[in-house]
């Protein structure tokens, strides 16, 4: 059996001219008859986050090419997670632009078939990319721990959204403290940065998931603590979109401990079946 350890991954870089930044990714070349898997990490983390590394390792060992970028978040060759109270100037649109560049990078390596794989907030970001870009090389999308990023259930305050909108209207671009996901009243961001991610709300994700033009799978942990905020109805709503929903019972948001192997098994099973 062909194996390819994550230990042989190499760091690759590319300049993003529009952003005047250099982005980094971990790349591991697999078998030429298998697609490449581009995987995107979650909120403010990097490609070194344990869930992402676990997914990459599984694909490498199964012979797949993997590319795991770290979004710059407006920091060239970023290598560390960004804190809530750092100054956030990055936007969803810039994140998607970086994904687009990395897809082109894979195509430049001769890749003809690509799987998009997101974890946590990486999932709705990839979905947003798919909703606004037609890319024939993308044949499959897999979303893990998929949730929306904005809504009263998650602690989003309409007053803060209004504040950011008014600031932009008045050309006040100074950072301000907002509440965003687990950053409670300490997400220090420009109004443009904060507002860009607010479009990824419940209705937007469900609508885009329903209208995807590529097959999609959504893998959720049965004990994901975010259900305490959004309720188990989220699973029903996901299933109604037509995505292939898989629930790993007992797993948390990060598929920690023994559940990482359940996630790995599901990912390889899905991808093998799609490209057999």
Q: Is residue 265 part of a domain?
A: yes
Q: Which residue has the higher pLDDT, 7 or 98?
A: 98
Give the model's pLDDT for residue 190: 98
Helix-helix angle 122-132:202-210, to 10 degrees: 60
207-233: pLDDT as tens digits: 999 999 999 999 999 999 887 667 779
Q: How confident is the model at residue 59 (pLDDT cuts 50, 70, 90)?
A: very high
Q: Is residue 179 part of a domain?
A: no
Give the model's pLDDT for residue 20: 97
Q: Is residue 229 part of a domain?
A: yes
- Residue the block writes with tokens 């989220």: 234
Lowest mean pLDDT among 7-21, 30-44, 86-100, 205-219: 7-21
Q: Is residue 250 part of a domain?
A: yes
For range 240-248, the mean pLDDT: 97
Give the model's pLDDT for residue 226: 80
For range 162-189, the mean pLDDT: 95
Q: Look at residues 120, 97, 93, 107 and name the one whose alpha carbon lies nearest to residue 39.
A: 120
Q: Is residue 158 part of a domain?
A: no
For range 153-165, the mean pLDDT: 94
Domain count of the chain?
A: 1
The answer on pLDDT for 1 being more than 90 is no
* Bridge partners, residue 114, by sequence: 36, 138
Q: What are phi and psi of 43, to 5 degrees?
A: -55, 115
Q: Residue 63: give the domain boundaries.
A: 6-151+201-274
The answer on pLDDT for 153 being more than 90 is no
The answer on pLDDT for 27 being more than 60 is yes
* Burial of 110 per CB tally in 10 Å (0-12, 13-18, 19+): exposed
- What is the pTM for the complete model shown? 0.95
Q: Is residue 188 part of a domain?
A: no
Q: How confident is the model at residue 71 (pLDDT cuts 50, 70, 90)?
A: very high
Give the model's pLDDT for residue 228: 64
For range 112-138, the mean pLDDT: 97
Mean pLDDT of the chain: 94
Give the model's pLDDT for residue 222: 93
Residue 53, domain CATH = 3.40.50.1820
Q: Is residue 172 part of a domain?
A: no
Do 127 and 208 touch, CB atoms closer than 8 A? yes
Q: Is residue 217 part of a domain?
A: yes
């Amino acid at each position: 059996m062909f194996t390819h350890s994550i230990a042989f991954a190499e760091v690759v870089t590319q300049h993003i001219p529009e952003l005047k930044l250099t982005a980094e990714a971990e790349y591991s070349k697999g078998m030429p008859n298998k697609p490449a898997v581009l995987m995107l990490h979650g909120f403010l983390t990097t490609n070194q986050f344990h869930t992402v590394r676990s997914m990459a390792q599984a694909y490498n060992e199964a012979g797949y090419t993997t590319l795991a970028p770290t979004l710059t978040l407006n920091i060239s060759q970023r290598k560390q997670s960004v804190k809530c109270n750092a100054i956030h100037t990055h936007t969803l649109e810039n994140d998607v632009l970086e994904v687009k560049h990395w897809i082109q990078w894979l195509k430049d390596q001769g890749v003809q078939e690509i799987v998009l794989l997101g974890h946590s907030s990486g999932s709705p970001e990839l979905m947003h990319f798919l909703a606004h870009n037609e890319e024939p090389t993308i044949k499959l999308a897999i979303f893990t721990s998929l949730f929306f990023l904005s809504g009263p259930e998650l602690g989003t305050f309409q007053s803060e959204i209004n504040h950011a909108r008014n600031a932009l209207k008045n050309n006040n671009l100074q950072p301000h403290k907002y509440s965003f996901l687990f950053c409670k009243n300490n997400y220090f961001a420009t109004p443009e940065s904060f507002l860009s991610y607010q479009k990824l709300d419940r209705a937007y994700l469900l609508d885009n998931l329903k209208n995807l033009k590529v097959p999609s799978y959504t893998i959720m942990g049965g004990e994901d603590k975010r259900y305490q905020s959004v309720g188990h109805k989220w699973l029903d709503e996901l299933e109604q979109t037509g995505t292939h929903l898989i629930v790993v019972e007992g797993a948390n948001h990060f598929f920690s401990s023994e559940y990482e192997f359940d996630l790995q098994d599901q990912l390889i099973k899905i991808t093998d079946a799609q490209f057999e």
